Structure 1
Amino acid sequence: MDLARDGAAADGLADLRHHGDVEAEPGLLDFAVNVQGAGPPSWLRDRLVAALHGLGRYPAAAHDALAREAVAARHGRRAEEVLVLAGSAEGFALLPALRPRLAAVVHPGFTEPEAVLRAAGVPVVRVLTSESDGHRLHPGDVPPDADLVVVGNPTNPTGVLHPVADVRALAAPGRVLLVDEAFADAIPGEPESLAGNGDVPGLLVFRSLTKTWALAGLRAGYALGEPRLLARLAAPRPPWPVSTPALEAVIACSEPGAVAESHRSAERLAAARAEQAEALAAVPGVTVLPGRAPYLLLRLPDGRGERVRTLLREAGIAVRRGDTFPGLGPDHVRVAVRPAPQVARLAAVLAETLVEVGA
């Protein structure tokens, strides 16, 4: 692994703030965004529609309490250990409130935490995993003086699921360990999750409803952690930070029936992912890197990635560029798991494109 101090061969904030939604313009076949489906299932949509009748009133503390209780029951935690968020992105935006002296961010990974911290003037160390060993997490590579460590599990964009023992090993006295589990519920059985563990000092876990439930436009998620740590995180929030429909979504998606549905969806996604990996690996010149999340990281032939992405876009297909993730380059692209007919089209166009660029 390599370490890079903030400012040493670092990407600008603009690159760190580049996300897949920028790639997925209307009319394109969208492999760039990891949301499953065009919108929530009908039963969830009905719950949200019913919540609209309360929009004339401010979000109620009692409603927030019900949401925290629902999440707590889902993960075997206490309600005081839950903070409902306007999406995980809000949680990342609150990180400077923890006043870290030195933050370590494991990369390649979701870039928003680093962008927020750097914009707030927090020194950041990048802990880079390596493709040569499957982007394995090495806890010993984190500087001992880092009092905030951020890691995704599974990691976006590599899709690697780190063993829970390795993630727990990142915890240390006086340190906040933030584990971004935005895609944990998209892996069957939610293995290696720390969401239900309240015994790790300084642990924060962020969860999102965006991906599984197709709620990207609603902004709903939550944080799990010690009550005093959550209070520090929430200190700068304005009044009523989470909307009434988002609170209702958190309740609905935490109920046992919804959790069971998400488990079934994860099983289907895992099967579809395996088939998609096989189909894309059969395209000459494409390397599918190992992973378990509902997206795949691809490596294209040296020096051809940018041209391939351009030609895919001209053919009506959006993929997520990899070079804005620290540790990856222009020959990496990330693709979401999609239905077989869409995968077949991607594979066919990708094969034609690679021939055209001379792979």
Structure 2
Amino acid sequence: MTMATQTSLLLDALSLKNNSHRPPIWLMRQAGRYMPEYRKIRTNYSFLQMCRTPELVYEITNLPLKAFNLDAAILFSDILVILESFKKKFQFIENIGPVIEQPLSIPSDVENLQALPANKALYYVKQAIVELKKDLTVPLLGFCGAPFTIASYLIEGKSSRDLKKTKQWLFQDPKSFFLLLDKITDASIDYLNLQIEAGVDAIQIFDSWANCLAFPQFQQCTLKYLEKIMKGLSSTQVPLIFFCKGSSVFYKNLASLKPQALSIDWNENLANIRQNLGLTIALQGNLDPYVLYGSQSIIKTQVESILESMRGDKGFIFNLGHGILPDIPYQNVQFLVDTVKNFV
């Protein structure tokens, strides 16, 4: 880790020690289709080609840093690259999203699922991280998808609003469903340890579909496996951030696992969470990304409302409640970053 990252606002906030007049800011999907520079690269490569090519990962990861001078980089990749460990073929189709070939459909599919070592299946991720760490002057976040979310893609075969097939499987054959979560968890631990060994400064785990679960299943399918991942990481020195979209109602349960930070969606008030938890964990969030379709006046009002509510909080990280949408006006992202950076 370089001296620059040792003294970063992000790592200070993750340690509950940020004494700056403002919080650090980075944005989920900060390198994405809203950027003309990204779209230019995308015309020549498929999304998976971009993820699998360390030189392109290096370039794309740096795009938002050059554009907005953000306080952290997040590795350009996707939560679904871990499927390569299971030799599952998939592709990203424009206006549809990820599509998995031959989704899992019967218990024997789970029994036959075997993971390759991450350093063999996902070696290109390690190469990209190593190259990025040579030059970055801000912390680099690695990430993976939570087991339940990855399982849902393997079963549904694509994005689903209600996860009908996934939840049917969970309730009809819990034994094989939990076996699947176990296998994904083991592969996730291996994958995150590869990222840690390559040099990431922090990790975020995305449980994008946890909001589809009732509390008993949230305990069984999310909390249990997040805890297992925490225990399996090779270093306790790399901060861990949990993000469960639509699950802010479960923030106390997530906090009980004692990650360094919770990333909160826009469904809960950050100041209320801080009041209930005390200064025991960093909080990240939580602007509704749809605000960025509004006028600069609206954006300023919404952003400053969050900043004021968390004023002086030593463990606050400004972010969105989910990723930047592809058609968000570029200039509005710049205005958002400037508003946070100029907050006094």
Judging by fraction of residues, say which structure has more helix: 2
Q: State the TM-score, normalized to the length of structure 1.
A: 0.26
Q: State the TM-score, normalized to the length of structure 2.
A: 0.27
